[in-house]
Amino acid sequence: MPSDIRGDRLSPAEVESNFADLHPLLSKHEAVVEADRCYFCHDAPCVTACPTGIDIPLFIRQILTDNPSGSAKTILSENILGGMCARVCPTETLCEQACVREIEHKPVRIGELQRYATDHLMETGTQPFERAPLTGKKAAVVGAGPAGLSCAHRLAMLGHEVTIFEAKEKGGGLNEYGIAAYKAVDEFAQKELDFVLSIGGIELKNGVALGRDVTLDSLVSDFDAVFLGLGLGATNGLGVDGEALDGVADAVDFIEDLRQAPAMEKVAVGSNVVVIGGGMTAIDAAVQSKLLGADEVTLVYRRGADRMNASPYEQSLAKEKGVVLRHWARPEKIDAGPDGKVGSISFARTKDEGGKLVDTGAQFTLEADMVLKAIGQTFVPVPLQGNAAEIALESGRIKAGADRRSSHPKIWAGGDAVAGGEDLTVAAVEDGKQAALSIHNALTGA
């Protein structure tokens, strides 16, 4: 990472203001008014659009009848991380896009209502679920991210003893380390983690990595079932000259540094920042660079806006915060400035030709004292190798069925590490839930 090279450093108060909660909690009156807009559809399309199948009309009706705790239980019974998903789930392309009031271009604000209910329940400090009678079975969960936490909580509900092995010093996975700071303020990821663990029957072991501290063989031997929620362990490189220059960094590392910094204004950011990529990580890195005080932030994507993984809402948010979005360009090389650090980055203009991305022959160069790479992550299978308990891979990730069972009878997997998985927190939560149900059936013969 570069040293702090902003021309005009923002004060701590300015940074704090910039990183205020993106969507502050609705008041009771606001929530009731918004809930009253719901038509409570039969066969509601919003439920079908929700990856975890939350009964959205029911939880909204419960808010309308002044039962936010009951509403939260309805949500959490399908999505135990409903609080974080209310903050980060792309509702504008899922449940809210399916809302019948979308025809008016003003769907019910489902995400904000979900947050209203789940925040209310978490503030009471109560766990709404009870554990079933103990089964005497033990399960290991590798990874304390959304998939792992969802699996662990459901298994604990069903009466199994669970041990989570997490490589990092904090649990939460991307909810803790990989989400923009203004989307999850006030240490919410850790509060939600504590809430999940409060059901009991779950032991979290931090700083324990698969392949370093424990092996897959040992887990298969010591536990009745194993769930792998490993996530993606490596970031893709640009593959261009100059990528190793000081000032070129992975966007995921930049976001993690910002989330873990005790004082955000001390996080280094360039004056002219260029972000490469078109997904949520790229948007989060670009917006936060601007909020930290970068003079110019440009996000460059190789295809058009309609092909970006980041939703139209997130793209609009970036523009509102002062980020310049440039499309149809790919990086060609990164050049050093007079100080030997990154000074500029050159791009080749691209176009779509029969579905294939090709260069037009034109080029342009942007000044940059910081370049952030956000072109995707890759699954690292090394921790799975060298074990007798081999599992099949597909397209470089773990192959798993609809019930998230792998090719090994005692191993299940979910989240980003699974072939064909969606890059969504809510999808990872559903993977963990479905895996837990499958594990329970396998262990109990249900």
Q: What is the pLDDT of residue 4?
A: 54
Q: What's the pLDDT band for 5 if we cut at 50, 70, 90?
A: low
Cβ–Cβ under 8 Å, residues 289 and 297? yes
pLDDT for 423: 82
Residue 3 has a pLDDT of 47
- The one-letter amino acid at 142: V
What is the C-alpha separation between 59 and 69, in angstroms, rounded? 10
**CB-count exposure of residue 163 (10 Å: 0-12, 13-18, 19+):** buried
Domains of the chain: 21-124 (1.10.1060.10), 138-233+379-444 (3.50.50.60), 236-376 (3.50.50.60)
Which pLDDT value is given to residue 8? 59
Q: What's the confidence (pLDDT) of residue 318?
A: 97
User: Which element (helix H / strand E) includes 63?
Assistant: helix 56-64
Residue 150 pLDDT > 80: yes
Joined together, the tokens standing for residue 348 give 């080749």
Portion of the chain with pLDDT greater than 70, in percent: 98
What is the strand order of the sheet 342-353 is part of? 329-336, 342-353, 356-367
**pLDDT value at residue 10:** 85
Residues 432 and 411: their CA atoms lie apart, in Å, by 13
**pTM score, two decimals?**
0.94
Which residue in 338, 331, 343 sits closest to 247, CA to CA? 343
pLDDT tens for 389-433 read: 999 999 999 999 999 999 999 999 999 999 987 889 999 999 999
Per-residue confidence (pLDDT) for residue 420, from 0 to 100: 87
Our measurement of the distance from residue 403's CA atom to the centroid of its chain's CA atoms, rounded to an integer in Å, reads 22
Backbone angles phi, psi at 59, to 5 degrees: -70, -30
For 29-68, write each residue's pLDDT tens digit: 999 999 999 999 999 999 999 999 999 999 999 999 999 9
pLDDT tens readout for residues 186-235: 999 999 999 999 999 999 999 999 999 999 999 999 999 999 999 998 88
What does the pLDDT read at residue 387?
93
Summarised one tens digit per residue, pLDDT across range 228-284 is 999 998 889 999 999 999 999 999 999 999 999 988 888 989 999 999 999 999 999
Q: Is the Cβ–Cβ distance between 51 and 399 less than 8 Å? A: no
> Partners of 336 in the beta sheet?
342
Higher pLDDT, 446 or 130: 130
Mean pLDDT, the chain, rounded, equals 95
> What tokens does 160 get?
């199994």
Strand 393-394 and strand 397-398: the pairing is antiparallel
Percentage with pLDDT > 90 across the chain = 91
- Measured in degrees and rounded to the nearest 5, phi and psi for residue 444 equal -110, -10
pLDDT at 81 (0 to 100): 98
What does the pLDDT average to over 324-338?
Answer: 97
Is the model's pLDDT at 7 over the cut of 80? no
- Strands, E, within 119-201: which ranges? 138-142, 161-166
